Amino acid sequence: MKRIILSGGGTGGHIYPAVAVAEALKRRFGDGVEILFVGAEGKMEMEKVPALGYRIVGLPIAGLQRRLDWRNLAVPFKAVKSIRMAKRIIRDFGADAVVGFGGYASAPVLWAAQRMGVPTVIQEQNSYAGVTNKILAKGARRICTAYEGMERFFPAAKIVLTGNPLRGRFSKEGADRAEALEYYGLTPDLPVILVVGGSLGTRSLNEMMKAWIVGTDGKAPVQVIWQTGKYYEREMQAFLAAHPAAHVWQGAFIDRMDYAYAAADLVVSRSGAGTVSELCLVAKPVLFVPSPNVAEDHQTKNARALETKGAAVVVPDAECQTKAMPRAVELLADRETLAAMSRNLEALARPDAAEDIVNEIVKVMK
């Protein structure tokens, strides 16, 4: 029986890659593997992971607030307590390996495992390494990355380029486009832009859409699948009621991302690591509007890494309200550029990322 601890959390960008690797471990070893997740008390992983059928233990670890805050005084004490708990968890579980996916939730268990002689693997999703992964890289046996050139953050001999592990199966072939258009009530006669801002939504992209609809009087020669997010749903529904727009599908969520990608000729999106990896797999031309509100501005670095390879166009968040949709419509008319972007994205795809990471876990256990 192989016993493996997976740790990471705080955001879906750290949790879902860990879940994808857990699923790959189950595919590989079936009942011959036992998996334990370790997260941070009160964070989203404590709800999301059990809902997917996996056991999770929470540590009292907390991150530093970026501004002066009395809660920062408690951080060192929580860190010490979390490390003590992590050592006990590793010992009681009998872990053969510990895999960290970033975020401060993974720091105590990786640190403890390295000092106990338990092999550790780090998976870095972004093109600019996170603080936790940079600090703990020295003691890791393997560092699985999604981007080239990560030697500036990690020891070169430990790096393995695997890509980001994704849940589900995305591919360039994907769903049937005719079915996808029918699902969203769209026509094959006009090109389609997919605007997607995550489950909660993105204020910048929603304001961009509002400005564009008002500016075109709702009569632009394109169709849009507009995912507004749960947080903004009522506000955007009220806006559309006051400003009817032809050929616009609006919804808080997109349940069938395979249909959304199949229908779209171009995607306008944030540039989180998971989204970037999905778009490489479906080879769908993209205009990125990176979020400026993330650690180390990693979304901008992710987007620029693709832009330098001719696989994406980037519009800064501060300019997206006036420039992003006009640029997207302009791109739709340039079939050569769209085709080149698609080819360049496909060249960056890593469809077997989860399985490749499992290979590295197995190697360090041996």
327 annotated binding-site participant = no
Q: What is the pTM for the complete model shown?
A: 0.86
How many Cβ atoms from other residues are within 10 Å of residue 276's Cβ?
A: 28
2-165+352-365 CATH fold:
Rossmann fold (3.40.50)
Task: Determine the Cα–Cα distance for residues 334 and 130; give it in Å rounded to an integer.
Answer: 36
Task: Give the pLDDT of residue 196.
Answer: 93
- How confident is the prediction for the chain on average, in pLDDT? 91
Contact 276, 304 (CB under 8 A): no
pLDDT (tens digit per residue) in 39-80: 998 888 899 899 999 999 999 886 555 555 556 555 566 678
* Domain boundaries 177-348, CATH class: alpha beta
The mean pLDDT value for 326-336 works out to: 96
Task: Determine the Cα–Cα distance for residues 243 and 219; give it in Å rounded to an integer.
Answer: 11
pLDDT (tens digit per residue) in 153-193: 999 999 999 999 998 767 777 789 999 999 999 999 999 99
One-letter amino acid for residue 94 of the chain:
G
Is the predicted pLDDT of residue 244 greater than 70, yes or no? yes
199 annotated binding-site participant = yes
Same fold, 2-165+352-365 and 177-348: yes
13 annotated binding-site participant = yes
167 annotated binding-site participant = yes
Domain layout of the chain by residue ranges: 2-165+352-365, 177-348
Task: Determine the Cα–Cα distance for residues 164 and 145; give it in Å rounded to an integer.
Answer: 7
162 annotated binding-site participant = no
Of 11, 8, 18, nearest to 353 (Cα)? 18
All residues at 6 or more sequence positions from 55 whose CB lies less than 8 Å from its CB, including other chains: 35, 36, 37
